[in-house]
């Protein structure tokens, strides 16, 4: 079902990959639509600043692709939070040897061609998009890696498994932002495409708002749009 018009008092929360930009074979090969920065700036003005990105990417990576985005950014599934004009707030007390985690993941991936490791400041992702036949192996490999890092949790995603801080989550990022200005008292609207977005959609709907699922697949979201281009058209309306 196509979503209704964006409420005038909305708090808008947007995933990045698969939502604002099309999924690409590798995280670094995405293309940002030419009109996207201006569209986000217009929405930010219309909603008095109540627009945020909530993504599995880290904040620095999102700023690289959208350097002029004026709103809040929750990166690494909410493990990082960057408010306008403020430094990035990292998670507290992780106690994780991140370089060692990245090395172990690279060693695991070396067993198969076509497996990609994406290092992150607070975790790591194993992508098997080029080798869908390795889905079971990828899950078992990440289960084994996770056993050595009890402070991290496995997050399934599209053709990938990620180890992220256990206390992070896109739902927690949304609720944290909803508790402060300029999001306070507004109707939450969350758009995303992946398994990682389902909890945030549910959180938005539990607070009187709604979720928008981008693409196919089962979802808790009340509404659905086929692709990022359709979402951009709806937002521009």
| pLDDT confidence bin for 89, thresholds 50/70/90 | confident
The pLDDT assigned to 120 comes to: 86
Pick from 124, 159, 119, 120: nearest CA to 139: 159
Q: Mean pLDDT, the chain, as a whole number?
A: 93
Work out whether the CA dihedral 93, 149, 52, 50 comes out positive or negative: negative
**227 is annotated as an active-site residue:** no
The pLDDT assigned to 9 comes to: 97
Q: What is the pLDDT of residues 118-128, one digit of tens each?
A: 998 888 999 99
Helix axes 98-109, 135-146, angle to 10 degrees: 150
Task: Estimate to the nearest angstrom the gap between the alpha carbon of 162 and the chain centroid.
Answer: 12
The pLDDT assigned to 94 comes to: 60
Lowest mean pLDDT among 31-40, 83-92, 180-189: 83-92
The pLDDT assigned to 11 comes to: 98
User: Which residues have C-beta within 8 Å of that of residue 99, sequence separation ≥ 6?
Assistant: none
Q: pLDDT exceeding 90 applies to what percent of the chain?
A: 78
Work out whether the CA dihedral 236, 175, 71, 227 comes out positive or negative: negative
**Is residue 13 within 8 Å of 203, Cβ to Cβ?**
no
Active-site entry in 15, 17, 193, 197: 15
pLDDT over threshold 60, residue 146: yes
- How many Cα atoms occupy the beta-carbon half-sphere of 59 within 13 Å? 20
| pLDDT confidence bin for 224, thresholds 50/70/90 | very high
């Amino acid at each position: 079902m196509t979503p209704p018009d964006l409420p005038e008092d909305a708090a808008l929360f947007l995933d990045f990959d698969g939502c604002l930009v099309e999924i690409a074979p590798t995280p670094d090969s995405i293309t940002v639509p030419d009109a996207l920065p201006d569209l986000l700036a217009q929405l930010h003005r219309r909603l008095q600043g109540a627009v945020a990105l909530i993504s599995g990417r880290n904040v620095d990576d999102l700023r690289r692709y959208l350097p002029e985005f004026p709103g809040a950014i929750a990166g690494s599934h909410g493990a990082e939070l960057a408010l306008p004009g403020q430094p990035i707030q990292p998670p507290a007390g992780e106690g994780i040897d991140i370089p060692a985690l990245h090395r172990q993941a690279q060693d695991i991936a070396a067993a198969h061609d076509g497996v990609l490791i994406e290092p992150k400041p607070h975790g790591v992702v194993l992508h098997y998009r080029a080798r869908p036949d390795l889905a079971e192996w990828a899950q078992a490999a990440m289960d084994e890696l996770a056993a050595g890092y009890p402070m991290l949790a496995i997050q399934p995603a599209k053709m990938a498994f990620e180890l992220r801080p256990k206390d992070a989550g896109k739902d927690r990022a949304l609720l944290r932002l909803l508790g402060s200005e300029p999001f306070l008292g507004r109707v939450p609207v969350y758009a995303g495409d992946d398994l990682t977005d389902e909890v945030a959609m549910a959180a938005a709907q539990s607070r009187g708002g709604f979720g928008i699922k981008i693409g196919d697949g089962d979802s808790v979201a009340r509404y659905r749009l086929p692709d990022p281009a359709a979402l951009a058209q709806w937002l521009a309306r």
